[in-house]
Amino acid sequence: MQAWIGRHAQTALASLGKLAESPLATVLTVLVIGVTLALPGALQVLVKNALTVSGGWQGATDFSMYLQPDIDRAAADQLGNLLASRADIADVTLVDADEALEAFAENSGFGAALDALDNNPLPHALVVRPIASLSPEASALLKQELENLPEADIVQLDTEWVSRFQAMLQLVRRSILLAAGMLGLALLVVIGNTIRLDIQNRRDEIEIMQLVGASDGFIRRPFLYTGFWYGLAGGLAAVVLVAVATALLAGPVSALAGLYGGSWRLSGLDLRETGVLVAVGVGLGLAGSWLATARHMRRIEPK
C-alpha cells in the first residue's frame, strides 16, 4: 500500500515536472481553463448577491390601499384604527390625500401643472403592514378582504415586483447551469486535445514502455495526472479571477447601495462554492485526459 502511494506520488510529481518544463504552454492552457470556469463562477456570485438583496425587500410586504374618492379624512382615520386593531395587521399608516399631492408636486416637477387642477385627484390611502409571520396564502386572503371593504378602491401588494424579479433570477440561475454545462463540454475538448498532443509528442516513449511490458494503465497514469494538474490549476485560477473581480466591484457596489440607503455588501465565493469550482476543474481535467488516453493511446503500437 505504501509502495503504491509512493509510486503514485512519484508519477504525480513527474507529471508536474513535465508541465513545468514548458511553462508558457502550461500557463496558457491553465488560463483558458481558469477563464472558462470563472465565467459561470462569476455569474453565480452575481445571482447570489441579487437574491440576497431582493430577499431583504421581500420582508416588506406592505399593502397600499387606495380608498374611494368620497371617503373623507375622518372616515379614513376611523378605518385605519379599525384595521390596526386586527390580529393579522401590525401597523396602519394613513397617507393624507393633500400631503400626497404636495409630495408628488415637489418630487415630480409637475408642480405648475398640478396647480392648474381645481381639486385634488388623489384619494386618501392606507399603508397596511401585516404581521411578519403572515404566510403568503393568508396574505393573499387579507388582500382580498381589504379589496371587499366598501371604502376600498384599489389594493396593491407592493412586493409583487420583488417576486417577479426573483422568478427572473431563478431563470437566470437555470441559464447559468446550462451555460456551465456547455462550457464544461468545451473544457473537456480543450483538455482532451492538450493531452492528445502530449500523447503524440511522447509516442516513442509510449512504444518503448509497451515493449518492456508496461500495461495500458501504467502508461496512462502520467497523462491522467497531467489532466489532474491542469484541472486543479485551472480551478484555482478561476477562484482567483472571481475573487479579483469581486474585489474590483466591491467599492462601486457599496457606493450604489449607499445611494439607495442600503448597507449590503458584495459577497464573493464562499467555501462551498470555491470547493465546487475547484472540484469541477479537477473532474473535467481527469475526464478530459481519460477520454484522450482511451481514444488515442490504443492506436499506438510499437513498430
Partner 1 sequence: MIRFDNVSKRYPGGHEALSNLMLDIDAGELVFVTGHSGAGKSTLLRLIGLIERPTRGQVLVDKRSTRGIGRRGLAAYRRDIGMVFQDHKLLFDRTVFDNVALPLVITGLRPRDIGKRVRAALDQVDLLSKEKQRPETLSSGEQQRVGIARAIVARPKIVIADEPTGNLDPELSRGIMTLFERFRDIGVTLLIASHDLSLITEMGHRRITLDRGRLTADSANPSGQQAFEID
The verdict on 303 binding partner 1 (CB under 8 A) reads: yes
Provide CB contacts within 8 A for 292, sequence distance 6+.
191, 192, 193, 195, 196, 199, 223, 227
6 is a contact residue toward partner 1 (CB under 8 A): yes
Nearest to 157, CA basis, from 149, 147, 167: 147
Q: Which of 167, 177, 208, 247 binds partner 1 (CB under 8 A)?
A: 208
**Stretch in the footprint of partner 1 (CB under 8 A) among 144-152, 161-169, 174-182, 200-208:** 200-208
Q: What is the rounded distance in angstroms from the CA atom of residue 55 to the CA atom of residue 302?
A: 64
Region of 300 on the Ramachandran plot (φ > 0 left; ψ -120 to 50 alpha; else beta): beta
Q: Which of 12, 53, 186, 214 binds partner 1 (CB under 8 A)?
A: 214
Number of residues that bind partner 1 (CB under 8 A): 21
Residues 92-120 as b/e (b if ≥16 CB within 10 A, e otherwise) read bebbbbeeebeeeeeeeeeeeeeeeeeee
Told to check if 1 binds partner 1 by CB under 8 A, we report no
DSSP state of 266: -
CB of 20 to partner 1, least distance (A): 14
- Identify which range of 60-68, 162-170, 189-197, 294-302 contacts partner 1 by CB under 8 A: 294-302
Residues 3, 87, 117, 132: which binds partner 1 (CB under 8 A)? 3
Q: Which of 99, 106, 205, 270 binds partner 1 (CB under 8 A)?
A: 205
Shortest Å distance, C-beta 35 to partner 1: 32
| Local structure of 36: helix, strand or coil | helix
CB of 249 to partner 1, least distance (A): 46
> How many C-beta neighbours within 10 Å does residue 62 have?
16
C-alpha cell at 45: 456570485
Contacts with partner 1, residue ranges (CB under 8 A) = 3-4, 6-7, 204-205, 207-216, 218, 298, 301-303
